[in-house]
Amino acid sequence: MKNISKVAVLGGSGRTGKYLVNQLLKKGFSLKILLRNPENFEIQNHNIEIIQGDVLDFDAIKLLLKDCQAVVSTISQRKDEPLVAAETAKNVLKGMKDYGIERYVFLAGLNIDTPFDKKSPKTIMATDWMKTNFPLIQEDRQKAYDLLVESEINWTQVRVPFIEFTDHSYEIAVNLEDCLGDKISAFDIAGFMVNEMTKSNYSRQSPFISAI
């Protein structure tokens, strides 16, 4: 894999995304961040380049990915807006192919299913709740996963339970079959994603991570 020095960031203005941006900067990476409303973005750093645009616009994604060696995403569904997961996956995959980018790490809920899961009753209940109450969003997110599986890139889907927006760090459980805990901090999510981006311990896999 190519050495990673510049990272394309999706969802960088979100509640979890801000933790990810700060930890990437702390590790010394240069960032290109796609923002719909750059004027509202509060993190200032000379290693940040802002690209104004939307994840649903392939031209914006292509501009974002140019000169980057990895893509990280904490994009989530926007309330009362078009479905975003599958279309984002399509745009990112196409842009990565065009530029020869190999590494993609993205955040997802524990409700996404994979053929390797052995979910506990509690995780199944959470998954079924999502399928019942937000069926279109669930289907869209599952489709995004399927698109990644069909691709040839080095992706990692990080699945998480309830997120605490805090700098507190816990001992983390990582499991490929089930979510072992009920929560995780945004700080720990960001740390895991940054480490996974460079080390690829879970290449083309979907680890659950949670606080113990």
Read off the pLDDT of residues 107-150 as tens digits, 9 standing for 90 and up: 999 999 999 999 999 999 999 999 999 999 999 999 999 999 99
Instruction: Return the closest-CA partner of residue 118 out of 182, 173, 178, 160.
Output: 178
- % of the chain beyond a pLDDT of 90: 96
- For residue 174, list its beta bridge partners: 209
Record the pTM: 0.96
pLDDT at 71: 98
pLDDT-based confidence at residue 5 (cuts at 50, 70, 90): very high
What is the rounded CA–CA span in Å between residue 207 and residue 112?
11
What DSSP state is assigned to residue 176?
S
**Tens digit of pLDDT for each residue in 42-53?**
999 999 999 999
pLDDT at 113: 97
pLDDT-based confidence at residue 1 (cuts at 50, 70, 90): low
Given a cut of 80, whether residue 77 has pLDDT beyond it is yes
**Tens digit of pLDDT for each residue in 83-117?**
999 999 999 999 999 999 999 999 999 999 999 99
Strands 154-160 and 172-175, by their bridges, are unpaired
pLDDT at 207: 98
What is the rounded CA–CA span in Å between residue 126 and residue 9?
28
Given a cut of 90, whether residue 80 has pLDDT beyond it is no
- For residue 34, list its beta bridge partners: 51
Neighbour tally for 2: CB within 10 Å:
10
pLDDT at 78: 82
Given a cut of 60, whether residue 21 has pLDDT beyond it is yes
pLDDT-based confidence at residue 79 (cuts at 50, 70, 90): confident
